[in-house]
Amino acid sequence: MSPEMKKEETVKLISAEGFEFVVDKQAAMVSQTIRNMLTSPGNFSETQLGEVTFPEISTPILEKICQYFYWHLQFASGKETEFHIEPEITLELMMAANYLHT
Amino acid sequence: MTVLRSREVPPPSPLPRTPTKRTPRKNSPPLPASADALGPPTPSRADAPSTGGPRTAAANALGFRAPSPVAPRRSSRLASRSAEAAAVESGASGMGEEGKEGRGRSGKRGWDASGAGWSASRSEEGEEGGGIVGFDLNLPAVESPSGTAKKRRERGKAVDPTVSSESISEEPTRMEVIEIESDGAQEEVDMVASRGRRYSSSEKGKGIMVEDDAPSFSEKGKGIMVEDDAPSFSEKGKGIMAEDDAPSVAGARFYEFLDGDRSPVHVPERDSGEEDNWAEGGTIIDDEKGMMVLVQGKWLTMGDLGVGWVPKTEHYHVERDPAVRRKESDRRKAKELAPKFAFFKPEEEDDSEEGDSSGSPKDDPADWPGPFSTAVKIINDREKRLESRQLRPGSALFKSSELRIEWVPSSDPERGCLKRLVPSLRDLAVRALSENAAEIESLDGVPNELRHQLSGCICKRRTMDEHVLDLFVRGSPTEIRVPDCSWASEEEFERIFVGANTDQLAVLQLDLCGRCLPDYILSSTLARSPNKLPSLTTVSLRGAYRLSDDGLDSLASAAPLLSSIDLGECSLITSTGITSLVEKLNPVLRELYLDDCHIDAMFILPALMNLKKLKVLSVAGIESVTNQFVHHLVSVHGASLKELVFTGCKRLTTASVKAIGEKCLQLRSLDLRDLVRLDDYALVHLANGCTSFQKLMLRHNPFRLKLTTLHLSDKAVAALLEASGGSLTELSLNNIREVSNFTAQAIAIRCSLTLRMLDLSFCRKTTDEVELSRSLPDVTLRFVIVTKTWFLLCTVVRA
């Protein structure tokens, strides 16, 4: 995660309640779904605006997912830690992760 | 089925026992030599090993051997146990520390140490006993195990003077190995004991055979002990007994025996029976061992085992009827059971098609027109190119006659080694959920794929129980997959499924449900009424060992649309049941898995041939599958068959594969593992016929070389892959000896784009130089199994 984030390298993920999470593009690409959305030529709005909305994913879940993105990058670069998941959100998180292919 | 030679008797470590034995026992004055010697357990015995009080009591008594009237011995095993306890005790008392230590150790060393101790104790006992020199067969064979133990022990001790005590002392320790806990079930105990002993004794017997003449007793002992089998002592005892004419044989005879060059007992098994027998010199009918040891009115045809002293025992008479009778009945039982364990050697001549017409050995398969020959040509060309390339520069370096492919590690950073696979969030969540399965409240809205992954994970963690399964069954699920139902009891299963809404259920997997799914439960829950499972198309009941033909029938009535059935390892299902099932589901059945069922393939063949839509058939492990079966099957269904599994159908030969290659052109998945009668022509036929394999499983196929060309098998496999491997996703070449460079090249070049699973275990001819991913930009190999391959295969690349 570079300290200075150029605007082009971030994407905005919007939860069902309207919360906006700004994350690195590289982090967001951990999700195959988001990767496809952002790179495929079809979805113009997502590609151009750099914003993706998820009406089915609630805010705490989306927050956890963003945390996972960064954890994933960290893990792949060698630092292996444990990713803890609170039991209450596990079920929804599982379904959201399934949807996001992550 | 493997031949069940003996039940594994876990050798009890002497250690746990030794502590108890280590309680130093002061030499207490000898107990009166009478049956009372076996008296009440003394406190020091209280902590004796699990064998219990009486044993210890006996042990006590044993130390001071008192001659006692011969009593019928009930169980050599128990006797030995107590004997050994006694021995231990006495040893402890008599010997010093070293004795105990010796005993503790299970090696020969132990023997020595304890042996020394033994001698010491023995001598003093001898004094006490007032001359029960050596072998006192007069010990009562009392009911209490301790009594017998006592006897044994004494006997063992008696041996001391002439033989190194090591063996003796060792025995007691050994005897502890016998783990029979219950005094009650004599028979079972005997069985178990005997089995355990059997094993050891036979081993021992062999061991002793080697050192037959006049080895020191300790040597013999060693031979026996090697097995670390408890009954050794009893074995010996038996041997000793055998020597004796009558239970009251004097010690002198025993010594004579011992000194002689007869190997001691290798009495195979049947401890209890044997013991009894020897006491009276009766015919020992070794039931279980019956196969091994023919008791023909002699003591034991040790001749079978090569034991020399067999004739000696002829004078033994059956004196004790009950024991003999028991032996007889046991023997009868064993005879009945034996066929089950008999090893079946398929007749070599068998019905086939040994007219392996494909095998005109003169005819080089590489010359036949077709994809195979094309592939072989390609391979040969490749080889020549490589050779020429290599011959140019450093031909001097060419050491082996095999083709060497230069391998250089890729310097491309992107194509690095296997990227560490980061666990996906989904997997992490599933894992977390499965750990807390009890806390899940509901699985509403969870898609099927996730459900299956979740249930699989939960089953693996063994956290599946009634509550959790209920979550999966609740609502109106379309798919329920439970890979492991072994935890469930009948009541639980009934409770869960009796109220289940099965209208939409399309896929049901209840593997390992044997315990909870007998016919009546099935009929009361899932197959309650005809058409109860209207949408069910796929069912898997692997391991439903209580399901019989009737249950199957009710299932078929309840699920008329069933198109895929997996009945692996349902042992109660018979050919008749399968036939009627198949007939019932004639118009719809597509997939049938009958792994390891006890059915006759030819019997069900007509029904199978009548099926309209058969696509998948698995008859793995069914011995009655023959070439004829395959011929008929593929002649009818060949065109539509997509998957065939013939793992372990040992009677199949190349002719079957030829038929498959000719008729099953759409075959996607073929499993020919463990078919040892295939040769290279089989590969030829496959290459020429089936062109689009997705899954090819070969294991342990010898692919004998019939031609003189070296490396043909390797080339043949390579050619097969070349010709048909374009869409291969799973490939297993487990233990195909000849697989080497050509195959590797073929895999690399031809299969790399699609291959997901590769198994090259036991292919010892593959080498480091084999490079699978050399020229391929994007290869993703998920699983590479390289067990026992002596050299690493460089594989994969890119994620």
Q: Do A94 and B433 touch (CB under 8 A)?
A: yes
Partner A contacted by B428 (CB < 8 A)? yes
CATH of the domain at A84: 3.30.710.10
d(CA B9, CA B189): 12
Region B290-309 average pLDDT: 44
In Å, how far are B321, B374, B431, B555, B795 from B721, measured between CA atoms?
A: 69, 12, 38, 42, 17
From chain B, pick out residues whose CB is under 8 angstroms from the CB of A91: 429, 433, 440, 443, 446
Nearest Cα residue in chain A from B420? A76
In Å, how far are B281, B473, B499, B552 from B502, measured between CA atoms?
A: 67, 9, 9, 18
- In this prediction, residue B320 has a pLDDT band, given cuts at 50, 70 and 90, of low
Q: Are B783 and B758 contacting, i.e. CB atoms less than 8 angstroms apart?
A: yes
ipTM value for the complex: 0.91
From chain A, pick out residues whose CB is under 8 angstroms from the CB of B426: 94, 97-98, 102
Residue A1 lies in a domain: no
Helix (H) or strand (E) holding B18: helix B14-22
* For residue B429, pLDDT beyond 90: yes
- In this prediction, residue B412 has a pLDDT band, given cuts at 50, 70 and 90, of low
Q: pLDDT: is B696 or B30 the higher one?
A: B696
* For residue A67, pLDDT beyond 90: yes
Q: Do A87 and B432 touch (CB under 8 A)?
A: yes
d(CA B467, CA B496): 9
Residue B591, beta-bridge partner list: B564, B616
Q: Are B463 and B438 contacting, i.e. CB atoms less than 8 angstroms apart?
A: yes
Q: Are B264 and B271 contacting, i.e. CB atoms less than 8 angstroms apart?
A: no
| Among the partner residues A65, A91, A98, nearest to B433 by beta-carbon distance | A91
Q: Which residues, other chains included, contact B171 with Cβ-Cβ below 8 Å and sequence gap of 6+?
A: B80, B83, B84, B87, B156, B221, B225, B232, B233, B236
Region of poorest pLDDT, from B40-44, B476-480, B585-589: B40-44
Q: pLDDT: is B431 or B8 the higher one?
A: B431
Q: Do B425 and A91 touch (CB under 8 A)?
A: no
Q: Do A98 and B450 touch (CB under 8 A)?
A: yes
From chain A, pick out residues whose CB is under 8 angstroms from the CB of B423: 75, 83
DSSP secondary-structure letter at B297? S
| Among the partner residues A75, A78, A93, nearest to B429 by beta-carbon distance | A93
Residue A11 lies in a domain: yes
* For residue B254, pLDDT beyond 80: no
d(CA B733, CA B742): 13
Which range scores top for mean pLDDT: A33-42, B232-241, B336-345? A33-42
Residue B213 CA to chain centroid, in angstroms? 37
Q: Do A90 and B445 touch (CB under 8 A)?
A: no
Q: What is the per-residue pLDDT for A34?
A: 87
* For residue B228, pLDDT beyond 70: no
Q: Do A97 and B422 touch (CB under 8 A)?
A: no
Partner A contacted by B416 (CB < 8 A)? no
Residue A68 lies in a domain: yes
- In this prediction, residue B316 has a pLDDT band, given cuts at 50, 70 and 90, of very low
- The model's pLDDT over B131-173, given as tens digits with 9 standing for 90+, comes to 444 444 454 444 444 444 444 444 444 444 444 444 444 444 4
d(CA B217, CA B298): 24
Q: Do B426 and A90 touch (CB under 8 A)?
A: no
Query: Strand order in B757-759's β-sheet?
Result: B479-482, B507-510, B538-540, B564-566, B591-593, B616-618, B643-645, B669-671, B695-699, B730-734, B757-759, B783-785
* For residue B348, pLDDT beyond 50: no
Partner A contacted by B421 (CB < 8 A)? no
- The model's pLDDT over B748-770, given as tens digits with 9 standing for 90+, comes to 788 777 888 888 777 777 665 44
Residue A2 lies in a domain: no
Q: Do B429 and A90 touch (CB under 8 A)?
A: yes
Q: What is the per-residue pLDDT for B594?
A: 93
Smallest CA–CA separation between B741 and chain A, in Å? 34
Region B783-798 average pLDDT: 39
Q: What is the per-residue pLDDT for B7?
A: 60
From chain B, pick out residues whose CB is under 8 angstroms from the CB of A80: 420
Nearest Cα residue in chain A from B444? A91
Nearest Cα residue in chain B from A66? B425
Per cent of chain A over pLDDT 70 is 85
- The model's pLDDT over B44-83, given as tens digits with 9 standing for 90+, comes to 444 444 444 444 444 444 444 444 445 555 555 555 555 4
Residue A38 lies in a domain: yes
Q: What is the per-residue pLDDT for B687?
A: 81
- In this prediction, residue B591 has a pLDDT band, given cuts at 50, 70 and 90, of very high
Residue A18 lies in a domain: yes
| Among the partner residues B424, B433, B443, nearest to A102 by beta-carbon distance | B424
From chain A, pick out residues whose CB is under 8 angstroms from the CB of B420: 75-76, 78, 80
Partner A contacted by B607 (CB < 8 A)? no
Q: Which amino acid is at B347?
A: E
Nearest Cα residue in chain B from A89? B429
From chain A, pick out residues whose CB is under 8 angstroms from the CB of B429: 85, 90-91, 93-94, 97
From chain A, pick out residues whose CB is under 8 angstroms from the CB of B449: 98
d(CA B80, CA B67): 17
Residue A12 lies in a domain: yes
Region B352-361 average pLDDT: 41
Q: pLDDT: is B497 or B218 the higher one?
A: B497
From chain A, pick out residues whose CB is under 8 angstroms from the CB of B454: 94
Residue A51 lies in a domain: yes
Q: What is the per-residue pLDDT for A47?
A: 64
d(CA B99, CA B91): 6
State the distance between the two ends of chain B, measured CA to CA, in whole angstroms: 43
Q: pLDDT: is B736 or A97 the higher one?
A: A97
d(CA A95, CA A101): 10
Q: Do B425 and A65 touch (CB under 8 A)?
A: yes
The full DSSP string for B313-343 is: GGG-----HHHHHHHHHHHHHHHHHHHHHPP
Region B476-486 average pLDDT: 92
d(CA B37, CA B57): 8
- In this prediction, residue B345 has a pLDDT band, given cuts at 50, 70 and 90, of low
From chain A, pick out residues whose CB is under 8 angstroms from the CB of B430: 94
Q: What is the per-residue pLDDT for B58?
A: 43
Q: pLDDT: is A39 or B357 the higher one?
A: A39
Mutate: best of A90, A93, A95, partner B, most B CBs <10 A: A90
Helix, strand, coil abundance in chain B, percent, nearest 5: 45, 5, 50
d(CA B535, CA B565): 14
Region of poorest pLDDT, from A4-8, B380-384, B505-509: A4-8
Region B648-667 average pLDDT: 88
Q: What is the per-residue pLDDT for B417?
A: 52
DSSP secondary-structure letter at B704? B
> Which is nearest to B224 in space by CA: B235, B215, B216, B237?
B235
Q: Mean of the per-residue pLDDT values for chain B?
A: 65
Burial of B345 (0-12, 13-18, 19+ CB in 10 A): exposed
Which range scores top for mean pLDDT: B269-273, B295-299, B303-307, B366-370? B366-370
Q: What is the per-residue pLDDT for A46?
A: 62
Nearest Cα residue in chain A from B421? A76
From chain B, pick out residues whose CB is under 8 angstroms from the CB of A95: 445-447, 450
d(CA B698, CA B734): 6
Q: What is the per-residue pLDDT for A72?
A: 92
Q: What is the per-residue pLDDT for B354?
A: 40
Smallest CA–CA separation between B729 and chain A, in Å? 22
d(CA B529, CA A74): 57
Region B342-356 average pLDDT: 48
Helix, strand, coil abundance in chain A, percent, nearest 5: 50, 15, 35
Q: Do B426 and A94 touch (CB under 8 A)?
A: yes
Q: Do B425 and A75 touch (CB under 8 A)?
A: no
- The model's pLDDT over B700-728, given as tens digits with 9 standing for 90+, comes to 776 654 433 334 477 788 888 888 777 88
- Domain span at residue A89 reads 7-100
Region B400-414 average pLDDT: 54
Q: What is the per-residue pLDDT for B93?
A: 44
* Domain count across chain A: 1
Q: What is the per-residue pLDDT for B92?
A: 40
Sign, CA torsion B784/B376/B392/B398: positive
Q: Do B432 and A90 touch (CB under 8 A)?
A: yes
Question: In terms of pTM, does the model score above 0.80?
Answer: no
Region B480-509 average pLDDT: 91
* For residue B479, pLDDT beyond 90: yes
Per-residue exposure over A69-90, b if at least 16 CB sit within 10 Å of its own CB, e if not: bebbbebeeeeeeebebeeebb
- In this prediction, residue B430 has a pLDDT band, given cuts at 50, 70 and 90, of very high
Q: Do A102 and B445 touch (CB under 8 A)?
A: no
Q: What is the per-residue pLDDT for B758?
A: 82
In SS3 terms, B551-592 reads as: HHHHHHHHCCCCCEEECCCCCCCCHHHHHHHHHHCCCCCCEE
Q: What is the per-residue pLDDT for B453?
A: 93
- The model's pLDDT over B190-224, given as tens digits with 9 standing for 90+, comes to 444 444 444 444 444 443 444 444 444 443 434 33
Partner A contacted by B430 (CB < 8 A)? yes
DSSP secondary-structure letter at B344? P
Tokens of B40: 């009440």
Q: What is the per-residue pLDDT for B766?
A: 67
Q: Do B425 and A97 touch (CB under 8 A)?
A: yes
Q: Do A75 and B424 touch (CB under 8 A)?
A: no
